[in-house]
């Protein structure tokens, strides 16, 4: 495992040195269009896209951008694995586990520090369900492979139940909201900003969030093929994400005002959602992937993964290399 990581790290480092050598000789790298996938909940990416930040930074690198929106993280990483994308904006910590099980060759670019309160299990305010244990035999809606999926498994286990004790309904956030409001599901597990929107626009009650059971760290990834070819592009992306994450936390009202027309949500809802996200962008290191193994083991234990995984057997990008 460690040899695999070391080998991939060495390749990435050689790629970076190669790119530096090309620039030193005064030869621009080959033109590239960077295919960037994102979701509505990709806050930092949404801000970079709205402001045209990456387009400006990419120009000297002989790189242009094309943007591709996805409704959830799993199809986003499937597109990355199929070479239909080069970069993925943040996805929940659960999603790479499913991609890894499918044999995807992905490189972790960056990680957002934990935001356990940014996802929750909710019921209607007048629901007879009072605790997670009350979900036994009930229909629960959530997006497959999302952080909400693991939160549900972890919360059920803490309550002495298993995934088999509930009736799962795999739904996108939009479909989950519709099903929840018309009573087609008994509970809904969802993340911000969808969670904040439901709390402000509907009468809902939180049964449990991720505190103490699911850290909810979000990851930015690239296809390993692209990571090896253009580490210069990844360094720019990392630097801008880190800078934007700090700006959002320091300027909550300004960030919410910018995101409001992009997301079609009122600024107050966005500010509430952003208050629960850390947006602290940091490098991914092997020691920081401990919970990834717990997630992989939980999904394998529920027979939702085809094989047992070593969550550390992944390629890690070093932004300072």
99: its two tokens: 């991609």
d(Cα 222, Cα 110) in Å, to the nearest integer?
Answer: 10
**Cβ(270)–Cβ(260) under 8 Å?**
yes
pLDDT tens per residue, range 63-88: 999 999 998 888 999 999 999 999 99
d(Cα 258, Cα 223) in Å, to the nearest integer?
Answer: 30
pLDDT tens per residue, range 272-316: 999 999 999 999 999 989 999 999 999 998 888 999 999 989 999
Altogether, the residues listed in the chain come to a count of 321
- Closest to 148 (Cα-Cα) out of 113, 128, 118, 178: 118
**Cβ(165)–Cβ(137) under 8 Å?**
yes
Q: If you write DSSP's letter for every residue of 253-302 in order, what string do you get? A: HHHHHHHHHHHTS-HHHHHHHHHT----EE---GGGGHHHHHHHHHHHHT
Domains 2-114+217-316 and 116-209 fall in the same CATH topology: yes
pLDDT at 130: 97
This prediction has a pTM of: 0.86
pLDDT at 5: 38
d(Cα 129, Cα 155) in Å, to the nearest integer?
Answer: 14
Contacts of 53 (CB under 8 A, 6+ apart): 47, 240, 244
Domain residue limits, the chain: 2-114+217-316, 116-209
CATH code, residues 2-114+217-316: 3.40.190.10
Instruction: Provide the pLDDT confidence category of residue 27 given band limits of 50, 70 and 90.
Output: low
Exposure on the CB side of residue 207, measured as CA atoms within 13 A: 26
78: its two tokens: 């499937």
Fold of 116-209: D-Maltodextrin-Binding Protein; domain 2 (3.40.190)
154: its two tokens: 């972890």
- The mean pLDDT value for 234-251 works out to 98
Radius of gyration (C-alpha) of the chain in whole angstroms:
20
CA 61, chain centre distance (Å): 26
Residue 168 forms beta bridges with which residues?
140
């Amino acid at each position: 495992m460690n040899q695999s990581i070391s080998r991939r790290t060495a390749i990435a480092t050689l790629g970076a040195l190669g790119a530096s050598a090309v620039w030193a000789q005064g030869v621009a790298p080959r033109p590239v269009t960077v295919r960037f996938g994102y979701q509505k909940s990709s806050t930092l990416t949404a801000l970079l896209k709205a402001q045209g930040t990456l387009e400006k930074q990419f120009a000297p690198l002989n790189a242009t951008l094309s943007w591709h929106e996805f409704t959830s993280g799993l199809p986003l990483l499937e597109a990355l694995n199929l070479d239909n994308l080069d970069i993925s904006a943040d996805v929940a910590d659960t999603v790479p586990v499913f991609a890894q099980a499918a044999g995807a060759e992905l490189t972790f670019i960056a990680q957002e520090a934990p935001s356990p309160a940014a996802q929750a299990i909710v019921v209607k305010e007048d629901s007879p369900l009072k605790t997670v244990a009350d979900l036994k035999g009930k229909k629960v809606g959530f997006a497959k492979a999302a952080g909400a999926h693991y939160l549900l498994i972890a919360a059920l286990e803490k309550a002495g139940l298993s995934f088999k004790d509930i009736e799962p309904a795999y739904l996108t956030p939009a479909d989950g909201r519709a099903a929840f409001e018309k009573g087609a599901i008994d509970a809904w597990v969802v993340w911000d900003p969808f969670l904040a929107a439901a709390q402000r626009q509907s009468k809902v009650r939180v049964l449990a969030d991720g505190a103490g059971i699911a850290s909810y760290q979000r990851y930015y990834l690239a296809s390993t093929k692209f990571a090896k070819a253009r580490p210069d592009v990844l360094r720019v992306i990392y630097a801008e994400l880190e800078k934007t994450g700090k700006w959002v936390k320091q300027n909550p009202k300004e960030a919410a005002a910018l995101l409001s027309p992009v997301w079609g949500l009122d600024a107050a809802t966005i500010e509430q959602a952003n208050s629960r996200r850390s947006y602290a962008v940091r490098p991914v290191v092997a020691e920081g992937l401990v919970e990834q193994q717990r997630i992989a083991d939980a999904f394998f234990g529920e027979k939702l993964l085809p094989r047992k995984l070593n969550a550390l057997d992944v390629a890690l990008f070093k932004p300072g290399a």
